[in-house]
Structure 1
């Protein structure tokens, strides 16, 4: 556990010592703040009319949920950028053999890398959540639903991060790793799109899609099957990444 913490902390510190992490964080916050302000302005315009409608939607539905749903789409691009240097950067700098020679198992290495990259992504999710939560002082938010969405986004981000670490383990070129992670993540997210167009929503292809398991969280539903799916996807990606490092260790 101490080894995982050291790897994760070192990776996170190294990210923030470079301008790229700050630029990524700033751009993500700027885009989210822009969407938040637009949604907030639209809500203020229609708020007087909503008071006269029974069971009308509130700030949670009209501001928070669209913002966090947009964030889920942004994570598809943010996570590959945050993970592309995790192992590809080590290989490119020829420092991976030093890490492996320290007696750390490949699984511990990839898990530590996952935690380091996920910390940056989790910070972006936290900042996005703080925007609608700032409205709690002037309106009633569904905090339980927001907590469910936050849980879903963290699980979703964790799976994407594991995929990014896997792709980074397979190449010494960070840009190639980011591209591969973006493609794989997009395919898994939109895997069942064709099936849904055909009216199929309860087949194996639907279950394999990440969007199928993320969507219930936006409705405030936290189901064990969805949690297990994201944990399983993360575990498989990490195991394949560890196996890749083992092969690199064997080849020297």
Structure 2
């Protein structure tokens, strides 16, 4: 082999050696580009659970509000009257289409009657205190004890133990108000109570539950039996 040929062969080997690293690099990891799949990011410092800085503050606020509301509710229920140990009496009468109904029969309970024309309020349980002794609840207690009725709302009256139901706008079928439309009304000591669904009788009150034409309080029928001691 001549000197020129040897030189040419040496240059060819050098060229192949220079190209080899480029081939190795191409066989490695693909370069990042538009087509490369995104790699998941790893949180620094071990990737612990992240708690927003405002979360503890919000939790404290919610706890304070809940405690405050609980105290208010406890105060209202604990100071509501009548309470266990009280013994109140309120006279009542029920008038349907101008006709006075007989007193409800006796039934037991903390809010009850002895068939004497009085609502007896001496709660025996916490559930009978305060609003648990309302006029509406008295009707409900009586309805359960007497097997039917016991509905008193702004637009419906069903006397405990009576199957008849009277709704606002119903026409009176009998009695002094026969032929006239009636509405549910409640009078306390001669004054109409529009909020009677929340009304709790007080000791000495006189209550009239009426279905009939809208008018002033009916004339009291006279005192019922003497108020119990």
Query: Shared fold by TM > 0.5?
Result: no
Greater helix percent: which structure? 1
TM-score (norm 2): 0.22
Answer 1 or 2: which has greater strand percent.
2
Q: TM-score, normalised by structure 1?
A: 0.21
